[in-house]
Amino acid sequence: MSGAASVLERWLAPIPREPFAHLPTPIEPMSRLSEAVGGGARLHAKRDDYAGFATGGNKARQIEFYFGEALAEGCDTVVITGAVQSNFVRCTAAAAARLGMRCHIQLEDRVAGKGDEYHGGGNVLLDKLFGATLSTFPVGEDEGAADTRLEEIADELRSEGRKPYVIHLSPGYKPLSALGYVRAMGETLDQADAAGMNISNIVLCSGSAATHAGTLVGLRLAGSNIPVIGSCVRRTADLQAPRVAQVIGLLQDLLGCGDVVDTAEIDCRDNWFAGGYGKLDDSTREALEMAGRLEGIPVDPTYTAKSMAAMIGLGRAGAFEADTDVLWIHTGGLPGLFAYWRDIYPDVVKF
C-alpha cells in the first residue's frame, strides 16, 4: 500500500473493520458517452457496482465498519431500517448471513403506488434469500420515528436473550458508513495517479450523505482538492447540503482530524431529482438508456441514473473543463432496477 491509500489507512487503523467488498474496483473510461455528451472532458466510471459482495455497490464498503464494531461488541443480531428497495439493508442481510448473525430489517414504504414486483422483487427478494426477518414501517419520511421503532425492536430482541446491534437511519449517529468512502478515496487517488489521470470533478449520488461526506473528507485528508458534485436522490439541495455538512462534522470528530472540509465546498444539485425519491422523469430515463446503450452499464432509477443524469447534464452545459477527466462513482443498485421495469418499459412483456 502506498500513496494516498497509505495516508488514509493511518487515520482509519484504530477503527474496527470487517472486510466484505472486493477491492480495488476498477476505473473505466466511458469513451462513447464522452463523445455523445460533448464538451471535451473525458468521462470515467469508478465501478463500485463491481464491489462484488451481495451484488456490489457502495454499501459493500460502508457496512464493513458497522460490522467491525458489531463484532467487537459481541453482538449476534443486526437491526436496520430502510426503503423497500434499499441496497443498504440488502448488503446488511448478506453480511449477517456470512457471519452467522441474525438480521431484522424494517422496510419503509417511501414510494407510493408500486405493485407486487416492487414489494416482492429486486432487493426484497434478496433480503429473504439471505434469511432476514422483515417487518414494515408505515411512514416513509420520518427518520426519527423509524429509529425509535428500531430501538423497540432491539429491546424485544434483548428480552429474548439476543444482543442486537442497531444501524440507525438519522444522521446524528456515529457515521461509520462514511468511513467506507474515506478509505475508497485512497484507492481512487492512487489508481488515478497510476493512470496519469487529471480528475477535475467527481460526481456521485447524495442521499444518506455517507458517500458524499466520506468522499470529501477522504480527498481532503489525502491532500486532494478535487471538487465533488452530489446529485440529490432523497431530498432537495437546500435540505441535502446541511445534512452533508452535519455528517462531515460528525465524521471529522470521529477521526479526530479537525476541520478539513469547508462547508462552502459542499455542492448538492437537485436539477435531476425528478420530483422525489424513487421517481423518474425524462432525464432519468435518458440516463438509463445512454448508460446502457453507449457503455453497457446498468444504472438504477433511484440512485445511479440520477447521478448519471447530472453528469450528462453538466457535461452538455460545459461545466467540465475540456481535456480533463471527470469521475462518476457508480454506487451500484442493480437489484432495484428490476423492481422498476413497469416505469421504464411498461410494454416490455409485449416484445
The residues annotated as belonging to the active site are 86
Which helix (H) or strand (E) is 44 found in, with range?
Answer: strand 42-47
For residues 214 and 237, give the distance between their C-alpha atoms in angstroms, rounded to a whole number.
18
Sign of CA dihedral 109, 140, 182, 226: positive
At 320 the three-state DSSP class reads coil
Read off the amino acid at residue 294: L
CA–centroid distance for 89 within its chain: 12
Sheet containing 164-167, strands listed edge to edge, beginning at the edge strand earlier in sequence = 133-137, 102-108, 77-83, 164-167
Neighbours of 98 (CB within 10 A): 14
Cα torsion for 184, 187, 193, 194, to the nearest 10°? -150
**Nearest CA-CA partner of 165 in 244, 21, 157, 218:** 157
For strands 164-167 and 133-137, give the pairing: unpaired
**Nearest CA-CA partner of 240 in 202, 269, 215:** 269
At 210 the three-state DSSP class reads helix
Which helix (H) or strand (E) is 276 found in, with range?
Answer: none
**Exposure string over 34-66, b if 16+ CB within 10 A, otherwise e:** bebbebebbbbbbbbbbbebbbbbbbbbbbbbb
